[in-house]
């Protein structure tokens, strides 16, 4: 059988039972005594039993009241705890953050950011997903991640971009390559040497393709690399040179490799926060995103 008592009635009952006085209970609750008496009377009508025996001198809790008291205290305590949990969530101090990131940003940017945030927000859980640019933006657009740490999306996508970082492009070659001794290298060098480019779905390929299109001498890549780590191994094996953003070097074994700044033109890969337009993000996600922008 469901008993329909309100939180206000339970609070009034517990306060009277604790203080032993309707007058004191009303003062402590900030209510008028008639309003408090009315709440107790409605509770008794709902239960079909008296909660207090009272006369002009004293108030005594009844057997029904003794049975209700621990239940009422537990309900009020659980309600307070639940509201406290909601308050922590609304303040951005608890909850779960789901981030999808490019492989390079998931290694170079996210670990330190998550570690720092977890020290000040220990109640927050993280789900970290790694994906190439096309898949990453699709996940954000479909709502499978709160936000992405990625390159700028195309104008037709229903995504918002907030810039965080300019990631410079550099030439990567073997340490024994004559290019390694240069202070910088022009992009035109890729037209004179075997070069390796990223797969079409990556965040790097549109950048290199755009620069190559501007060169008067066409660039004819000899290989496409499936991932940045594989690219480094290919360059180390002498298969060619490549262009990578600096953050991606975190994924490469650089023991046999060297980097040279690329010039004419100087190019960077934009990295920022990508969210779906119109989606309301959890407070904790907004708080974490703000921490990344510091």
pLDDT tens figures, 63-122: 988 888 999 899 888 888 777 666 767 677 788 999 999 999 999 999 999 999 999 999
pLDDT digits (tens, 9 = 90+) for 276-286: 998 889 889 99
Task: Tell me which residues of the chain have a pLDDT lower than 70.
Answer: 1-3, 56, 84-86, 88, 90, 294
3-class secondary-structure state, position 198: strand
C-alpha 284/C-alpha 215 separation (Å) is 46
Token representation of residue 139:
């996940």
Dihedral, CA of residue 18, residue 20, residue 23 and residue 29, to nearest 10 = 10
pLDDT value of residue 161: 96
Q: Determine the length of the chain.
A: 294
Query: CB-based contacts of 116: which residues, under 8 Å, 6+ apart?
Result: 291
What is the per-residue pLDDT for 191?
92
Rounded to two decimals, the pTM is 0.72
């Amino acid at each position: 059988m469901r008993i329909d008592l309100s939180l206000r009635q339970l609070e009034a009952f517990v306060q009277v039972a604790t203080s032993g006085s309707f007058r004191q209970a009303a003062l402590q609750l900030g209510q008028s005594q008639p309003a408090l008496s009315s709440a107790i009377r409605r509770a008794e009508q709902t239960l079909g039993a008296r909660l207090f025996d009272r006369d002009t001198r004293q108030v005594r809790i009844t057997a029904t009241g003794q049975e209700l008291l621990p239940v009422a205290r537990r309900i009020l305590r659980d309600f307070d705890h639940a509201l406290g949990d909601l308050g922590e969530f609304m303040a951005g101090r608890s909850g779960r953050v789901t981030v999808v990131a490019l492989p390079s940003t998931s290694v170079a940017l996210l670990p330190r950011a998550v570690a720092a945030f977890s020290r000040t927000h220990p109640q927050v859980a993280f789900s970290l997903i790694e994906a190439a640019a096309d898949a990453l933006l699709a996940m954000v657009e479909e709502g499978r991640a709160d936000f992405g740490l990625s390159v700028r999306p195309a104008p037709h996508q229903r995504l918002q971009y907030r810039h965080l970082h300019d990631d410079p492009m550099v030439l990567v070659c073997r340490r024994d390559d004559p290019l390694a001794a240069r202070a910088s290298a022009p992009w035109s060098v890729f037209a004179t040497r075997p070069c390796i480019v990223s797969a079409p779905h990556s965040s790097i390929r549109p950048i290199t393709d755009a620069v190559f299109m501007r060169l008067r001498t066409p660039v004819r890549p000899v290989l496409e690399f499936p991932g940045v780590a594989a690219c480094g191994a290919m360059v180390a094996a002498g298969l060619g040179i490549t262009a990578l953003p600096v953050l991606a070097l975190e994924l490469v074994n650089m023991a046999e490799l060297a980097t040279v700044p690329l010039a004419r033109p100087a190019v960077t890969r934009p990295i920022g926060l990508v969210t779906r337009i119109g989606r309301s993000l959890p407070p904790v996600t907004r708080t974490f995103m703000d921490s990344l922008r510091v």
